[in-house]
Structure 1
Amino acid sequence: MIMNIWKQIKKKEFSQLYLLYGTESFLIHETIQLLIKSVLNEDEKDFNLSTYDLEETPIEVALEDAETFPFMGERKLIILQNPVFLTSEKTKEKVEHNLSKLEEFLNDPAPYSIVVFSAPYEKLDERKKITKELKRKAENAEAKKMVDQDLRNWIKERVKSNHVEIEEQAIDRMVAIAGSNLFVLTNEIDKMSLYVGDGNRIHLDTVEKLVSKTLEQNIFELVDKVVHRKTEEALRIYYDLLKQNEEPIKILALLAGQFRLIYQVKEMARKGYGQQQIAGSIKQHPYRVKIAAGQANLFSEYELKQMMLFFAEADYQMKTGGLNKTMIIEMILFKLNTLSQKK
């Protein structure tokens, strides 16, 4: 796990080789920044920090740098970005890589250099010899989208690094409002940490006061108004989103997605799944599943199925230009409100 690597780096326990791969670019970026900060002093960075894009530079050029003694310091840090030869992705090769040179280096890495492979790919090609060898020799971790407890742990670590604390309810609410994008969460955590000051705690009311609502959170509140048959308030939120230049087709997609979640939760609960099981199965934060479960109790299975049909029809109309896009969502909000329960 990537957070284990962070702990080692903070203790100054460095490996000579690192392989960071996955689609959560924030985690890869943060790990590299932590290495730079921990391995090199400010006056060493100009001489002993190198970054190579392996889509532009042959691997042997970067390795030659890694095998050169550091200047004015004990270690060199070499960052190798986009090692496309580790994947099976189809790309137009701009350069040829001497992978036998890389194999030699992996067998006998320069003791004064730390080499980091930054591979922003969903999967590595485990069939390739070089991939197997690198994973065997390097300290490696997958940077993937965080959910559930991993996300909570990351938030706590980020808060702790800012010398403040955060209560559990505040974590739930922040994720509900801001989502799980780590770039967004970092900005919100840093903002709240500055607001409460060193040694203090981020409370639920701090989150309510300071965290910016995402489009998804506005949709979440819109759905809540629809669930409780408050059409006028739902329309007000919708018109506010239009004033913010949000596209009706995007609003429709998120609205449909939220009701699809409610339907999924109701169906899985009916089959005997608990909320934690549901959250793990559909890869949603437990807080969102908990809210959806409460909303699902306000609808029959028939109503939710009808809603899915409404959204499918609205999507078709919006994409074929049959009606004014703004009016389509207005109509669907009225339909959701007036839908009578049938069993």
Structure 2
Amino acid sequence: MPIYFYWGEDDFAMERAVATLRDRVLDSMWTSFNYTVFLPDQSDAVIAALNQVMTPPFGAGGRLVWVVNTNICQQCPENVLTELTRTLPVIPDNSHLLLTSPNKPDERLKSTKLFKQYADFREFPLIPPWKTELIIQAVNQAAQTVGVKLTAKAAEVLAEAVGNDTRLLYNEMEKLRLYAGGSNQPVDMDTVTLLVRNTTQNSLQLAAAIRTGDTVKALTVVADLVNAAEPELRIIATLVGQFRTWLWVKLMMESGERNPQAIAKAAEVGNPNRIYFLQKEVQSLSLRQLISCLPLLLELEFMFKRGSGDITVLQTKVIELCQVCQRH
């Protein structure tokens, strides 16, 4: 069935998938006739798209109708649901309906259940910034896609520089490809350091500064992140994830667990080899300190999600967190 539902926060990866689908479905000579995009500000975009997708394509190739940033799987009026029920099963094989959304579909809605029945669902999630193993895997996958050879250390440095920003990753990878110029020699760490601009600080460095109680360093990192236009909620999500991991590692240590695999499973750490380093990181903190940090982080997250957070609130909470980690 030629129906596709793409969703997730990684908009760059989604754009690449949309471009691949567009190239596969459309004939370049007939694109202007057979390619229609409905934007979210258009009224009745879904119904208009359903009417359009039922129109046979002109000339060669197929037809592609794209509904951008739809909320049809968050709320669906009854008249739209009726039209979906009537149209989705009978869309011609040479017409393709694509819907994209940054939000996770609500599994309870009838519209979501209907699309689950007929559509090809694909998720495009952002890798959590604290899951460094997955980011390094993404770096190596991008290198293979673009045609760049990287040393293991170069991949680690590049992962630290770009984080989970897929768009930045591919931009930097293209720069490295041009620099390599078709050479069979892998790009080394020094070359990556020279060519790839690190955003000077990232949210994991902020977590590390808070953990050591270094208030001045933490506030400097906050300022750098804000100046680099890093979304506050993404910064907070990284802090929550990192402190949650540290808490689980400390909790397992306090309970007497010594098996790295068991600790990794409890803390949801993909690589058990990281447990040794995580244990070193939490040695200077007590279990009570780590437990005390989480309510502050969750309160901070709530304030920003409610819309009452700003840079001053973020700075204040970072100072409070540093003070908690300074206590013995």
Q: Decide: shared fold, TM above 0.5.
A: yes
Q: CA deviation at 1:332?
A: 9.0
Question: Does the 8 A contact of 2:8 with 2:124 survive in 1?
Answer: yes
Q: CA deviation at 1:293?
A: 3.2
**5+ long unaligned stretches in structure 2:** 301-307
Structure 2 match to 1:78? 65
Structure 1 segment 228-267 matched on structure 2, within 5 A: 262-267=246-251
Matched, 1:144 2:125: yes
Work out the number of aligned pairs and report it: 301
Select the residue among 88, 94, 105 that pairs with 1:123. Answer: 105
Matched, 1:105 2:91: no
CA offsets 1:94-134 (integer angstroms, 9 cap, x no match): xx854333223221211211211213212323341x32222
Distance 1:21 1:189 in 2: 25
Distance 1:61 1:176 in 2: 44
Structure 2 match to 1:135? 116
| Aligned partner letter, 2:116 | K
Q: CA deviation at 1:50?
A: 1.0
Structure 1 segment 146-165 matched on structure 2, within 5 A: 146=127, 151-165=135-149
Structure 1 segment 1-343 matched on structure 2, within 5 A: 16-53=2-39, 56-58=42-44, 59-88=46-75, 97-128=79-110, 130-146=111-127, 151-198=135-182, 200=184, 201-214=186-199, 216-217=201-202, 220=205, 223=208, 262-271=246-255, 272=257, 286=271, 291-297=277-283, 299-301=284-286, 304=289, 308=293
- Cα 1:145–1:290, aligned 2, differ >3 Å: closer, same or farther? farther
CA offsets 1:169-191 (integer angstroms, 9 cap, x no match): 43333333332232332333233
Distance 1:119 1:240 in 2: 32
| Aligned partner letter, 1:121 | N
Question: Does the 8 A contact of 1:55 with 1:84 survive in 2?
Answer: no
Q: CA deviation at 1:285?
A: 7.1
Q: CA deviation at 1:235?
A: 5.4
| Aligned partner letter, 1:206 | T
Question: Does the 8 A contact of 1:55 with 1:82 survive in 2?
Answer: no
Question: Does the 8 A contact of 1:179 with 1:214 survive in 2?
Answer: no
Question: Does the 8 A contact of 2:69 with 2:102 survive in 1?
Answer: yes
| Aligned partner letter, 1:164 | V
| Aligned partner letter, 1:145 | L
| Aligned partner letter, 1:65 | Q
Q: CA deviation at 1:46?
A: 1.9
Identity %: 18
Distance 2:48 2:217 in 1: 60
Question: Does the 8 A contact of 2:250 with 2:287 survive in 1?
Answer: no
Distance 1:107 1:329 in 2: 53
CA offsets 1:265-308 (integer angstroms, 9 cap, x no match): 333344437666666655667597664333224x1527955995
Distance 2:197 2:165 in 1: 13
More divergent stretch after superposition (26-35 vs 236-245): 236-245
Q: CA deviation at 1:79?
A: 0.9
Distance 1:255 1:118 in 2: 26
- Cα 1:197–1:291, aligned 2, differ >3 Å: closer, same or farther? farther
Q: CA deviation at 1:140?
A: 1.4
CA offsets 1:211-242 (integer angstroms, 9 cap, x no match): 33336438628947985x9x8xx957966875
**5+ long unaligned stretches in structure 1:** 1-14
Q: TM-score, normalised by structure 2?
A: 0.68
**SS of equivalent residue, structure 2 residue 72:** helix
CA offsets 1:40-97 (integer angstroms, 9 cap, x no match): 34433222211113552423321222122222322111112233232249xxx8xx85
